[in-house]
Structure 1
Amino acid sequence: MARPILFAVDDDVSVLEAVVGDLRRKYAQEYRIVRAASGQAALDTCDQLKTRGDAVALFLSDQRMPGMTGVDFLSQAMGLYPDAKRVLLTAYADTEAAIRAINTARIHYYLNKPWDPPEDKLYPVLDDLLFSWHQGYKPPYEGLQVVGTRWGSKDHAVRDFLSRNHVSFRWLNPDTQPEALELLKSRGLDDAKLPVVVFSDGTSAVQPTQMELAGKIGLRVQAEKEHYDLVVVGAGPAGLAGAVYGASEGLRTLVVEPDAVGGQAGSSSRIENYLGFPDGVSGDELARRGFVQAQRLGAEFLTQRVTKIRVEDQYRFVTMGDGRDVSCSAVLLATGVSWCKLDVPGGDELVGAGVYYGAAQSEAQSCKDEEVFVVGGANSAGQAAMNFARYARKVTMLVRGKGLAQSMSQYLIDQIAGTPNITVETGTEITRFCGTDHLQGIELRTPNGTDNRAATSVFIFIGAAPKTEWLPTEVARDDRGFVLAGPDLKRVGVDRMGDRNPYLLETSVPGIFVAGDVRHGSVKRAASAVGEGSIAIQFVHQYLAGF
């Protein structure tokens, strides 16, 4: 960030040099020192500084200057920099005029010439004024900025991707913040196509893709090597555990994740039944710790989407979304599951514009003082309800079943019951989403008939699907798409792989393993996924030893 400016103005070159010299001796480390030999020249420079967005902390101007007095200059400079401190340099004979200027021109202080020694007569005055200026000064934001509306699906996708990858940014909504349009205008853009992302290096991107964002924010999008011992597909709890154990045991390990480390568990606001965290831990924090640990042990992380896996002899080739291939000796599938869509009228059109699947932490603060609806009755829905209750005026949980006990942990049920702004409505489901450019209402089927509610934000947690259609047909799955492994392969006729039985977490394709929620019959809990991801590495070693 550019340093604030101390601006000295005097038509007498020798006096100006003396002022600048004294300022530099004391303040050069924290401020830039700018000079001008006349009031008009100083105003012209101020125009340029203002255009560049530079901050002026203090003006120090001589009073007796031809063409424009110091008081006149400081009065006009106040229009450009109203918060800057204004100091007038005067001869002893001009003291009375300087005192009047304090009242009429809102000058903060005057100093008689000469001011020697500056340690006694100059610096204490300026120190007090600069301290006061800093109290009210807000440095210009120089980090990443997102210009977008609250209700655009593309706008939401950008904010959500950045939030889940722990990238700090400032969101400017052109509907409510004029500075958003000013930022676009300064870069020759308009609000016809949003979102626009302005990066800290001054470049910008209009409606960027996820991969474009990943490259700009420093995520790796290309693998370092052509071959790895192990490629882990997915960076949820199972994938992170596989990465930690694989890397720690000497396997050259690559983890490929298209969205953000942590998977669905990463969006959980508080997991209170995970071993070793008596006060609970957020899914985001758990994922962050796993990511740091895996990296420290040597695992490499890649932000890409895997689109295909093929087998050639003892090699497995993993194809990325950009078309590049990475070869490996073994693959661990840890892709987790995705939320099932609510198949009711209006739902598809309003995704990201008031209808959200998952916790959508990026939207939580936008819901301040509003009513939020959470659809679902399992742990993820309960954790989300507790999180949104911190911001929203009211959280209404819509549960199709008879209650929460069937699918939610008791500790969450107790917390929800003790939170006054959470209401649970059982036997209730949404039958229609209403709205044009964003969600405005919902239609409900309740035990008492139908009901219409005003709504702007609905967060949906209604079961999960494995999304495994991209896998090769040789990888056996059940009728819902969950991957079969180990003893479960018998149902599709895979009893042996040559001269051996399938390993416990090995799929129907030798050398391709599975762990976590995407596996058929898995326990849908973070701790269980971590356990499977870690023990899968044992079987990877056994497989590699058989080469």
Structure 2
Amino acid sequence: MKSFLVTVDDDPQVSRAIERDLRQKYGEQYRILRAESGADALASLEQLKLRNEAVALLLVDQRMPKMTGIEFLAEASAFYPDAKRVLLTAYADTDAAIRAINDAQVDYYLLKPWHPPEERLYPIIDDLLDDWKASFKAPFQGIRVVGHRWSPHTHQIKEFLGKNQVPYQWLDIEKHAETRSLLQSIHASEDQLPAVVFPDGSSLIQPTTFQVAEKVGFRMKAEQPFYDVIIIGAGPAGLAAAVYGGSEGLKTVLVEREAPGGQASMSSRIENYLGFPAGLSGQDLARRALTQVQRFGVELLHPQEAVSVRVAGPARIVTLADGSELSGKTVLITTGVSYRTLDVPGAANLMGAGVYYGAGMTEVLACKDEDVYITGGANSAGQAAIHFARYASQVTMLVRGDSLTQTMSHYLVERINQTANICVEMNVEVAEAHGTSRLESLMLRHTTTQDCRTVSAQSLFILIGAQPHTDWLKETVLRDEHGFILAGPDLIRDDRLPAEWPLARMPYLLETSVPGIFVAGDARHGSIKRVASGVGEGTIAEKMIERYLEEV
């Protein structure tokens, strides 16, 4: 993308002449922006800053009404401090120009007239642009998020963009000097963060994830009045079912409340998935699957949440959080599981401010050279520990049990043992989290002796088991005492089907207590909590749905 050369002169004839000469020499490499007043030029610079455009040179006339060239350059430096600054002066103003070089950090001054430009303009501009290019770093062309590291709202926006694989640049108000001018440009103050600035120069102040999704262009409204299958949840099971449903020509819609990939997308490296000997990240897997889903014409609604499902004759109707409804012949529930909350004093108040659920991929770089704590002893915790160890000074795993081998794959245990800056503390749990505006320390308790100690901590990542996301179903389908959905053979108790089952035939494999409503993946009673098994169940469920559709 071309950088800008900005020229400012209140004399229209002079302004057009300097623009002409600059365009003739530099038009192929740079964009030329002309303004005829300091105020207009500052307004243009503000818009360029919002769009994250680069400005290489400011060439400004000294004698302008209302705002001199030196005054303009002083204000412009707030937006582009690294741009080269050139003052255009008359012979009588040379003393002022020299003072500007000494006092206002002007890089050069040019006398009017500058003709011929080949001798009096271009050599000087060439030298200045060569100096500028030597230290220039191309600005990020995408979404920018401005906020505080310890802000839960900021973390929510970053996590939403990260999980949905939307590229963004994170600007910490405490570390990045450019955030001051950026906030000035969008007319926001530090107490109004986070702010999200988009490539077109527009911005959102303290937005919800739905507002960001709408601006990014995610689809949240259905296109069809009726579907063959409505899939609730875009984890591995839901994505697999969508791929096969779409490939078989079924009119399919996929609803996801957060981001495609589900809990698997938070895995930094999956090394035991068939066909990928070098492993792949959960986000890579989700991205590949989502591309397949879209290739086969499946509609994806996200972020969108199902809040209820009901039967209306041959139709199965899903109500969404915004009050809209989806109608279809069948429903497949693949809502998966979420990490259990850490029910200890202080943890809830510090969520997003040092206490995080999941692998916290958006916080990895912020933890560089710090000590990180992870509580949990299953595969997801092990994968997170290995990933964080690449950046953190030390990673401490807090495990309630007395052995990792009972809950974690062998290859992960071996990797952890081989990583020097990972420390595993067995029979230890978090008893309390302390801090005011952010996490400052943890009280740890030994599970057998009950002895407690307090350690300094800035980041705690919680990966402590799973609970099914099925409360929204209420009594619609039968669930076990832990909330997992009963299906197929698991519906049979004492050699009898439940009274709720209305048909003469047996339920199909993965069919719930309501005909035409199926379940696959981690939300199902008795499921194997692995990515590959989720993919397999999603595929099987789609075939059972085809069988069901043949009979209705």
Shorter-normalised TM range: 0.7 to 0.9
Kept in 2, the 8 Å contact 1:310–1:472? The answer is no
SS of the equivalent of 1:280 reads coil
Distance 2:20 2:528 in 1: 72
The answer as to whether partners of 2:73 and 2:85 remain within 8 angstroms in 1 is no
Q: TM-score, normalised by structure 2?
A: 0.86
**1:153-232 alignment to 2 at 5 Å?**
153-177=152-176, 179-180=178-179, 182-232=181-231
Deviation, 1:3, is: 4.7
Distance 1:7 1:388, change over 3 A: same
Instruction: Work out which of the residue numbers 468, 481, 484 in structure 2 matches 1:482.
Output: 484
Calculate the TM-score normalised by the size of structure 1.
0.86
Match of 1:494 in 2: 497
Contact 2:468 2:483 in 1 (8 A): yes
Aligned residues: 533
CA distance in 1, matches of 2:523, 2:63: 81
Asked if the contact 1:24/1:33 (under 8 Å) is kept, the reply is no
Deviation by residue 1:62-107 (Cα, 9 ceiling, x = unmatched): 9xx9999xxx96898478556444678999x99x99xx99997975
Matched, 1:403 2:403: yes
Alpha-carbon distance in 2 for matches of 1:103, 1:442: 55
Instruction: Give the secondary-structure state (helix, strand or coil) at the position aligned to 1:171.
Output: strand
Q: Is the 8 A contact 1:235 1:263 kept in 2?
A: yes
Q: Does 1:23 align with 2:19?
A: no
1:277 is paired with a residue of what secondary structure? coil
Contact 2:69 2:87 in 1 (8 A): no
Aligned to 2:452: 450
Change over 3 Å in CA distance of 1:86–1:187 after alignment to 2: closer
Which one of the candidate residues 462, 473, 485 is aligned to 1:460?
462
Query: What SS does the corresponding residue of 1:494 show, helix, strand or coil?
Result: coil
**Matched residue SS, 1:396:** strand
Deviation, structure 1 residue 148: 2.7
Q: Which residue of 1 aligns with 2:412?
A: 412
Going from structure 1 to structure 2, the CA distance change for 1:126 and 1:196 (only over 3 Å counts) comes to: closer
* 2: CA distance, partners of 1:163 / 1:391: 18
Going from structure 1 to structure 2, the CA distance change for 1:322 and 1:2 (only over 3 Å counts) comes to farther
In 2 relative to 1, CA 88–474 (structure 1 residues): closer, same or farther, beyond 3 Å?
closer
Whether contact under 8 Å (2:3, 2:56) holds in the other structure is no
Aligned-partner SS, 2:161:
helix
How far apart in 1 are the matches of 2:100 and 2:229? 74
What is the 5 A alignment of 1:359-370? 359-370=359-370
Pick closer, same or farther for the CA change 1:58–1:416 going to 2, 3 Å.
same
Letter in structure 1 aligned against 2:411: Y
* Alignment map for 1:497-536 (pairs within 5 Å): 498-536=503-541
- The one-letter amino acid of 2:186's match is R
Work out the CA distance in 1 between the residues paired with 2:176 and 2:60. Answer: 36
**Residue of structure 1 equivalent to 2:322:** 322
What displacement does 1:456 show?
A: 1.5
- Asked if 2 retains the 8 angstrom alpha-carbon contact of 1:89 and 1:113, the reply is no
SS in 1 for 2:345: coil
CA distance 1:87–1:184, shift in 2 (3 Å): closer
Task: Determine the C-alpha separation between the residues in 2 that align with 1:263 and 1:59.
Answer: 49
Letter in 1 for 2:485: V
Cα offsets for 1:424-471 (capped at 9, x unmatched): 011111111122222211111225622111112111111111131211
- Structure 1 488/195 Cα, relative in aligned 2: closer, same or farther at 3 Å? same
Deviations 1:394-449 (A, max 9, x none): 10001111111001111101111111110001111111112222221111122562
Give the C-alpha shift of residue 514 in structure 1. Answer: 0.8
Q: Secondary structure at the match of 1:405?
A: helix
Shift, 1:202, TM fit: 4.1
Distance in 2 (alpha carbons) for counterparts of 1:67 and 1:259: 54
Is 232-241 or 486-495 further displaced after alignment? 486-495
Residue 530 of structure 1: CA displacement? 0.3
Instruction: Confirm or deny: 8 A CA contact 1:78 1:84 kept in the other structure.
Output: no
Answer yes or no: is the 8 Å Cα contact 1:23–1:33 preserved in 2.
Answer: no
- Matched residue SS, 2:404: coil
In structure 2, the residue matched to 1:544 is 549
Q: Which amino acid aligns with 1:386?
A: I
Query: Per the alignment, in what secondary structure is the counterpart of residue 250 of structure 1?
Result: coil
User: What stretches of structure 2 of length at least 5 have no aligned partner?
Assistant: none
Structure 2 CA distance for partners of 1:475 and 1:430, relative to 1, 3 Å? same
Which residue does the alignment assign to 2:427?
A: 427
Q: Between the two proteins, what is the percent identity of the paired residues? A: 48
Q: Which has the larger radius of gyration?
A: 1
Offset at 1:267? 0.5
Matches for 1:50-199 after TM superposition, within 5 Å: 50=45, 52=47, 57-58=56-57, 77=73, 80=76, 83-85=82-84, 118=118, 126-138=125-137, 143-177=142-176, 179-180=178-179, 182-199=181-198
